[in-house]
Structure 1
Amino acid sequence: MKTAYLIAAHTAPDHVRRLVESLRHPDAAVFLHIDAKSDQTPFQSLTELGVRFCEGANRVKVYWGDYSQLDATFGLMRTALAAPERFDRLVLISGADLPVRSASHLARFFASHPQTEFINLVQIPSVKANKTEDRLTDRWFRPGLAGKIQRRLVRLGLLPKTRDYRPAFGDLKPFGGSSWWALTRACSEFVLAQIAARPALVSYIKGTACADETLIQTLVGNSRFAKHVARALTFTRWRPGASNPDVLGPDDMRALMQQPEHLDDSVYGQGPILFARKFDAATSAQAAKLLETAA
């Protein structure tokens, strides 16, 4: 089984190099999307490690909370699926991640779960998962002139602040989850086909916040692949009320390597942890060093 690791990054090339090195395996390849607002030059040396970059239309400017995050994801998916070799699984992680297991362990794990779709899913609304209905009803003003005009119209009362999502969703029940997943090739191909086949849904979702936490989740949750879903494999620590996850360090890495399991009381259920986020340039060197002893 061959695995394609899809990495979305925009900064910290030294950390991204550590991440890439930790994923190197004969049955794996790394595909990298660098935010088009960032200079790709500091990352170019990663080609020496076999990294393949999203280029042309598959490389986009990415803005937090915006549909452009999904544009980058789809660019990574298309690049990996178009590669000469056939990848059986696509794994989306961020450029601030590190695995908590060795590359050989990851390869064995995915080989032993050939049909499982690792993605967090919960039906919207879910207060416990912080996936409330306003994620779908409240307008998101996209970067650029059109977003500025819409924002102005809402302030003047000429455009409603909320919308009814049901016509765009049609027969689909809305699902939410987290951005990071590990999907089979068949499921990945299905997602891209559905994006092309459902323009009304895509158009609507572009006007919502954090579309990367709803669109793919909704498509998978309503598909034949839903019966094979297990919770996602990435650990992230959020403090109550925080707008960003904690930065992790070597002590966190040690703890995760010793007990790489999500807790039973998680809204998404129990399951293994293979990746953790987020690390930064100041914390990743020591954390990555610990992986060298991992089996």
Structure 2
Amino acid sequence: MASPDAAQAAHFLKKPDPPREGPVNIAYLIQAHTAPAQLRRLVELLSHPNAGIFIHVDAKADAAPFDSLRALGVHFCTGADRVAVHWGDYSQLEASFSLMRAALAAPQRYDRLVLLSGMDLPLRSAEALQTFFAANPDREFINLVPIPSVEANKSEERLTARWFPPTLIGKIQRRLLRHGLLRAQRDYRPAFADLRPFGGSQWWALTRDCCETLLSEVAARPALVRFIRGISCADETLIQTLVGNSRFASKVARALTFTCWRPGAASPDVLGPKDVDALLAHPWHPEGSAYGDGPILFARKFDESTSEASVERLRPSGLPGPLGLV
């Protein structure tokens, strides 16, 4: 299929942002836990004079195989900012917040923060990504829908069903539940207070202003955070709810990452070179999906067995230029 035409671009940007004058500084925030060779390929494709790369390596993983990336100028979360991450757990958000704080505190002022997985690859050159974000300086690229949403598979049970972390406390809570000493369902409304709940997906590309506001809101709403710690897939709810109830909501556009989920699958498909070819030919989320249409700039997930051949399709000399959105 052909690449998006001018009509699609016009539909996406109904109210275009004024293009940013001068270069845009981008912080790529990467959550990784495995596959250091694949992560190196991702870092090399993202490297740019106006980009910073911040990496959080799961504290459960050995960091030594990733140390060679320091030579590429990346910044690693260390000490208390490096956490043990578990699927579906609030620790996913803790890792994201560690990366966010590191980028916002850096000597270089970053205008845009982009959260990626270490299993991602970009579908545009680093220069084209700079051009895209400079052309859309105020857009908040994040998937979100009000909960409940049948279309997006975001039921109210995501908020009411109790989630048990894979820790000693979680094991104790499970026993209490089995003995009838703990309720399986909870009322989320007191914790959310004035906030309408939203859900979405983990990966986003947000402005600096939005990220600074998010961290302030998280600090100012301890009751909400305590509640969110007890739900499944907190990384698909907390940030989405805060953005959806903020002044940034009017600037929200669909997230830029493509993921292939099969019905009933526990994890997304691993992508390969043929998938890259298809995405390069048509880098656009279709209309009619739960989160709306919009451009695809990144894809996940790849692994060390599929990324090497895929990257050959994505070398800077062969990557297409920026999408015609402005």
Q: Which residue of 1 aligns with 2:237?
A: 214
Q: How does 1:46-57 map onto structure 2 within 5 Å?
A: 46-57=69-80
Q: Which residue of 1 aligns with 2:104?
A: 81
Q: How does 1:229-244 map onto structure 2 within 5 Å?
A: 229-244=252-267
Paired AA for residue 145 in structure 2: V
Aligned-pair RMSD on alpha carbons?
Answer: 0.6
1:194 aligns with 2:217: yes
Paired AA for residue 5 in structure 1: Y
Q: Which residue of 1 aligns with 2:12?
A: none
Deviation string 1:222-242 (CA, Å, 9 cap, x unpaired) is: 000000000000000011111
Deviation string 1:252-285 (CA, Å, 9 cap, x unpaired) is: 0011111100011211001000000000111000
Paired AA for residue 27 in structure 2: A
Paired AA for residue 115 in structure 1: D
Q: Which residue of 2 aligns with 1:12?
A: 35
Q: Equivalent residue of 1:224, what SS?
A: coil
Q: How does 1:284-295 map onto structure 2 within 5 Å?
A: 284-292=307-315, 293-295=318-320
| 1:143 to partner: Cα distance | 2.2
Counterpart of 2:248 (choices 204, 213, 225) is 225
Q: Equivalent residue of 2:206, what SS?
A: strand
Counterpart of 2:57 (choices 20, 34, 37) is 34
1:105 aligns with 2:144: no
Q: Equivalent residue of 1:291, what SS?
A: coil
| 1:128 to partner: Cα distance | 1.2
Q: Which residue of 2 aligns with 1:150?
A: 173
The 1-side partners of 2:282 and 2:168 are apart by 48
Q: Equivalent residue of 2:95, what SS?
A: helix
The 2-side partners of 1:90 and 1:40 are apart by 23
The 1-side partners of 2:50 and 2:108 are apart by 10
1:123 aligns with 2:143: no
| 1:58 to partner: Cα distance | 1.1
Q: Equivalent residue of 2:250, what SS?
A: helix
1:176 aligns with 2:193: no
The worse-fitting range, judged by mean Cα deviation, of 88-97 and 147-156 is: 147-156
Deviation string 1:138-192 (CA, Å, 9 cap, x unpaired) is: 0001122211111111111111100000000000000000000000000000000
Paired AA for residue 259 in structure 1: H
Paired AA for residue 319 in structure 2: A
Q: TM-score with structure 2 length normalisation?
A: 0.90
The 2-side partners of 1:58 and 1:257 are apart by 36
Paired AA for residue 293 in structure 2: Q
| 1:214 to partner: Cα distance | 0.2
Q: Which residue of 1 aligns with 2:87?
A: 64
1:159 aligns with 2:188: no
The 1-side partners of 2:119 and 2:199 are apart by 22
Q: Equivalent residue of 1:223, what SS?
A: coil
Q: Equivalent residue of 2:155, what SS?
A: coil
Q: Equivalent residue of 1:194, what SS?
A: helix
Q: TM-score with structure 1 length normalisation?
A: 0.99
Q: Which residue of 2 aligns with 1:262?
A: 285
The 2-side partners of 1:68 and 1:162 are apart by 22
* Aligned pairs, number: 295
Moved over 6 A (4+): none
